[in-house]
Amino acid sequence: MADLDVDSIIETIRSRTYSKFVAYALHVGGLNSRRDPRFVSAMQAGDLVYADGQAVVALARIAGATRIERASTTDVGVRMIEAEFERLGRPPRIAIVGGPPKLAERAGEGLLKKFSNCEISYATHGYHTGYDSVVAELNDKDPDVLIVGMGMPREAIWVHETYTSLPKALIITCGGWLGFLAGDEARAPRWMQRYGLEWSYRLMQAPQRLFARYARGLITVIGLIPHQVRMR
């Protein structure tokens, strides 16, 4: 986990010296999967793991982190693409893999409304029975940025296990960002975001989908506190 503020995360991406770079967003869904060896291997192999969740920030601070800030992909995703635009000196080609059918395409349209200096070169859903053809198409399109939104831990495991076959690109796992880009989910009010309460707003919008994850996440966070204290 990177003990970095948001601006430093963006600068890390902008100033990197190699094109294939994996940035994992860690949130409660990842914490719940901490005992999955495939997920752990993915996190250990990532070039950058940043805190996409207030619980992750709190645990890191208990362990002694001093600079870490919540960097929700919903907030920093566009900034990452802007950084890639600056690094390349041209509009980056964007590929999106994830979500149910048609969501990736709609998310691409939403992304272009937020940052027009990019090109959506490829978009497909995240429920293929096999991904050989998807990987082949990705390499054919040669994207500069690959956004993967399959939910944690699946998206991180997929990136890690497919890594050697993926094109040289900035690879971002994004959780629920595609739904926000497509307009299917709304952001919490600013004051809720400021005080780390956006999770409760999301829960109100989709209780059936999120209640079990957040309830399990609360138990996970409480259980991890003693371990974090020992790490200081």
Indicate the length of the chain as a whole number: 232
Any residues with CB less than 8 A from the CB of 229 and at least 6 apart, and which? Answer: 62, 63
Dist CA 7 CA 190 (whole Å): 19
pLDDT in tens, 47-90: 999 999 888 998 999 989 999 999 988 889 999 999 999 999 99
Specify the pLDDT at position 55: 87
Residue 79, φ and ψ in degrees, nearest 5: -65, -35
Dist CA 63 CA 55 (whole Å): 13
Percent of the chain residues topping a pLDDT of 70? 93
Specify the pLDDT at position 217: 67
Q: Is the link from the previous residue into 207 a cis peptide, with omega within 30 of 0?
A: no
Low-confidence ranges of the chain (pLDDT < 70): 188, 195, 198-199, 201-203, 205-206, 210-211, 213-214, 217, 227
Burial of residue 12 (CB within 10 Å: 0-12, 13-18, 19+) is: middle
Specify the pLDDT at position 53: 83
